[in-house]
Chain A
Amino acid sequence: MPIGSPPSSVRTATVGRPEGRGDAQAPKARKLRGSRRPLADRLAPYVLVAPAVLIIAGLRLYPLALGVNFSFTGDGDRNGQAVGFDNYATLFDDPLFRQALQNVGLLVLLLPVAVAIPGALATFIYLRVPGHRLYRSVYFFPAVLSPVIVGAIFNLLLAYDGTANTVLGLVGLGPVDWLGDPDVAMVTVVGVHVWATFGMALVVFLAGFATLDASLIDAARIDGASLPQVIRHVIVPGLSRTIQFVFVTTMIGLLTSMFGLLYVMTGGGPEGSTYLPEYYIWVQAGQMNRPALASAASTVLFGIMLVVGLLQAAVLRRSGRED
């Protein structure tokens, strides 16, 4: 049987049915519906998209709505009762949650650094500094380690009596309480996160460099441009789309995958200075037995991610248009 014959047979069946009634109503009905197609035809698209819609609605939207709904109920003695915006009031009254939101802000501020490091290193590899082949693989290596292992390693290195402070002591600098000083701890953890994940961004940058027109750099050099000038006027403009992409993915990484490191390295401390919303949610739901409050925090985090996601989508769309 040739491919394509089944649809045609279906069509004859569906089209043929109203005519099969054989009475005068058939043309009348067709006339009433005007140009509309028969019922089965009109239902077909809905039936076909139903599985996807049901999955999205049942496994995504419904739980989301449940979670939002749950955030308006109470915890403990008030379990199941509607409490209006009480949870949200508690949330924004809690210095710990405000600290968590502040830390999100800090992450956004640190984002350019997190992008600049792999960018600069990729530039050096592209410019073939001595040993660039070795660096290329060494830089990628931490990206394959799990956050738990990375955290455990750095816990040892950054302990008060650990290797980092011993080295500082050798050059005559006082010990730094990397994970015990509230002003330093968050930056430390972000630094470790960047160390552990910049390999991926580096690969993306190297891929971007591969599309760069080498003759432009040669031309700039012949015109007497210095290295900083080459980077500033040739490489950065040529890589603008790659840089935007790395910005977006690094932001997502910072906002969504710091939990493991925080859990292993600081546990939200010292003094609550390294809380992030997702860690806060985990603590409230499990340790504090306040799932409704955790739902409220999840809803707030969802709102933040929605805004960030839409902004990123806008950036990516704009850069796509430049193609």
Chain B
Amino acid sequence: MKQRALSAIAVITALASAGCGSAADPGSDSGGSGDKLVVWDWKSGDEAAASYIERAKADFAERHPDVEVEFVAQPFDQYYNLLGTAIQSGEGPDVMMFNGGGQLRDRVDALLPLDDYVADDRERLAGWEAFSQDGHVYAAPVTLQGHPIYYNKALYEQAGLDPEAPATTWDDLADDCEAITDATGAACFAQGNKEGYGIQFWLSGLGSGVLTDAEYEAWIAGERDWTSPNVRRVFELWQEAGETGLFNDGANSTAMFNDMFAVFESGEAAHVIGLMSDVGHWKEFNEFLGAENVGVMPAPVVNPESAPSLPYDGGIGYGVAEWTDDPELAADLVRSLTSSGALEAFYADAGAIASDTTIDASDAGPAASAIVAQIPDGEPALHVALSSETLELLGRLSQQLLSGSITVDDALGQLAENDQAD
């Protein structure tokens, strides 16, 4: 009898493994019913975003009074894991939030192209590139995310430098940093590379001062020459900065969120390549250092043939799931979430540079004004164009470059191989 039971289990197991399949059934569809839309994001639970959600809901309710909208705030740490599970099962929210770039591009199969629905918003909003793949738009931008170089004007003054005239070339910046470190003991750059994000900000923050226009465009278009002298230079600068003490100590064990920003906010470093929205940005720095002490400088020129520009992309945006019952209704909700009124509330309360170019930012301090002024000439950030797999490798290699356990050539070789395999 024992044998028979065992053979029964063996048969069941064999049957189970014989059935071929995948976790994601391509044909399945589900989602909210016709009069209810479910939205997943990691913002709606945030108090600072409450007025934004209110305004967006009101805008939507005006046009679709019968439709109920439910916002489900997920923890950001777990967001893409939860979303991945939902996508695998083909069931989940109708509308969902995404970070621009790799996180969205890896999942466009689960999203509805929005080109026809958002045509009217294309002019008003900026940052579409990060939510596009192969000529189609998959989400509408809510905020812009970019990497301005912030500096601490008070430290400049203490070192006898003119805070209104920061260095425009790399060599001048290095000299200024030496003066600041001698006078105040502050490091040149606040750096936190524990998660491997530091190199991403470095690449994007300084890249426009190193690569030529043609190289920059080719990089964004996906034709990346990792062995070109200028790309090499960006990574050499990273390694040199680590070796010559331009970074705070222990960069590889300092978390970017939020220890690196804390280093800058406490005046222990003169510069930081920060963010434009959400965290580590002008609004936070204004609160700690005083709005008058926070400056924004363009990327220092390393290569005279380059043209520094502000690196930015669509930061976060809302997309529509391909399994939703009524795509037009869901797309309408996305339009409400990116309406001028809602975005203005988001900018004012949450301290984000909103994607809407018609919003006036002149009352948010000199740093925010400087950023907004650079947006028209801005370019997509270099690291956003990379796949999440390449970014993960980039993070690990950058830590090895700082600890000296790999050469720049080796690192670039691995990155080229990984990037081309995608």
B360 at the interface (CB under 8 A from A): no
B106 at the interface (CB under 8 A from A): yes
| Closest B residue to A188 using CB positions | B253
A61 at the interface (CB under 8 A from B): yes
A282 to B85, CA, bound (A): 12
Give the Cβ gap from B384 to chain A, nearest Cβ, in Å: 16
* Cross-chain contact of B9 among A61, A79, A82 (Cβ < 8 A): A61
Q: Which of B21-29, B50-58, B327-335, B340-348 contacts A (4 or more CB under 8 A)?
A: B21-29
A304 to B186, CA, bound (A): 49
**Complex contact B5–A291 (CB within 8 A):** no
B7-58: which have CB < 8 Å to A? 8-9, 12-13, 16-17, 19-24, 26
Contacts between chains A and B (CB distance < 8 A), count: 120
CB contact under 8 A between A61 and B20, given known A269-B252, A269-B396, A287-B392: no
Q: Which of A5-13, A107-115, A176-184, A226-234 contacts B (4 or more CB under 8 A)?
A: A176-184
CB 8 Å contact bits of B70-86 with A (1 = contact, 0 = none):
00000000101100100
Give the Cβ gap from A268 to chain B, nearest Cβ, in Å: 9
Give the Cβ gap from A182 to chain B, nearest Cβ, in Å: 7
* Cross-chain contact of B80 among A73, A96, A287 (Cβ < 8 A): A287
A249-302: which have CB < 8 Å to B? 266-267, 269-272, 282-283, 285-289, 291-292
**Complex contact B253–A270 (CB within 8 A):** yes
Binding site for A on B (CB under 8 A): 1, 5, 8-9, 12-13, 16-17, 19-24, 26, 78, 80-81, 84, 88, 106-107, 109, 194-196, 249-254, 259, 388-389, 392, 395-396, 399-400, 403, 405
**Complex contact B250–A82 (CB within 8 A):** no
* Cross-chain contact of A291 among B88, B195, B392 (Cβ < 8 A): B88
| Closest A residue to B14 using CB positions | A65
Give the Cβ gap from A149 to chain B, nearest Cβ, in Å: 16
**Complex contact A288–B22 (CB within 8 A):** no
Contacts of B8 in A (CB 8 A): 53
**Complex contact B252–A177 (CB within 8 A):** yes
A73 to B56, CA, bound (A): 41
| Closest B residue to A179 using CB positions | B253
Contacts of B12 in A (CB 8 A): 57, 61-62
* Cross-chain contact of B23 among A61, A70, A179 (Cβ < 8 A): A70
| Most B Cβ at <10 Å: residue of A49, A80, A270 | A270
A135 at the interface (CB under 8 A from B): no
* Cross-chain contact of B403 among A49, A178, A181 (Cβ < 8 A): A181
A66 at the interface (CB under 8 A from B): yes
Binding site for B on A (CB under 8 A): 45, 49, 53, 57, 61-62, 65-66, 68-70, 73, 76, 79-80, 82, 96, 158-161, 175, 177-182, 266-267, 269-272, 282-283, 285-289, 291-292
**Complex contact B84–A285 (CB within 8 A):** yes
**Complex contact A270–B81 (CB within 8 A):** no
**Complex contact B252–A289 (CB within 8 A):** no
**Complex contact A65–B13 (CB within 8 A):** yes
Closest 3 pairs between A and B when the two form their complex, measured CB to CB: A160-B250, A180-B253, A286-B81
30 contacts across the A-B interface (CB closer than 8 A):
A45-B1, A61-B9, A65-B17, A68-B17, A69-B17, A69-B20, A73-B21, A79-B22, A79-B26, A79-B109, A96-B396, A160-B249, A160-B253, A175-B249, A177-B252, A177-B253, A179-B194, A179-B253, A182-B405, A266-B194, A267-B195, A269-B195, A269-B395, A270-B252, A270-B403, A286-B81, A286-B84, A287-B392, A289-B388, A292-B22
A160 to B251, CA, bound (A): 9
Give the Cβ gap from B85 to chain A, nearest Cβ, in Å: 9
A273 to B222, CA, bound (A): 30
A289 to B194, CA, bound (A): 22
**Complex contact B403–A271 (CB within 8 A):** yes
A158 to B259, CA, bound (A): 13
Contacts of B24 in A (CB 8 A): 79-80
| Closest B residue to A42 using CB positions | B1
* Cross-chain contact of A269 among B23, B80, B259, B399 (Cβ < 8 A): B399
A96 to B395, CA, bound (A): 13
A286 to B405, CA, bound (A): 29
Contacts of A65 in B (CB 8 A): 13, 16-17
A271 to B400, CA, bound (A): 6
Contacts of B19 in A (CB 8 A): 69
A53 to B20, CA, bound (A): 24
A272 to B106, CA, bound (A): 22
CB contact under 8 A between A62 and B84, given known A159-B253, A177-B253, A271-B403: no
**Complex contact B80–A286 (CB within 8 A):** yes
A291 to B12, CA, bound (A): 24
Contacts of A66 in B (CB 8 A): 16
Q: Given A53-B8, A179-B194, A180-B253, 11 other A-B contacts at CB below 8 A? A: A49-B5, A57-B9, A61-B16, A69-B16, A76-B106, A177-B252, A269-B194, A270-B252, A271-B400, A287-B388, A289-B107
Contacts of B196 in A (CB 8 A): 269
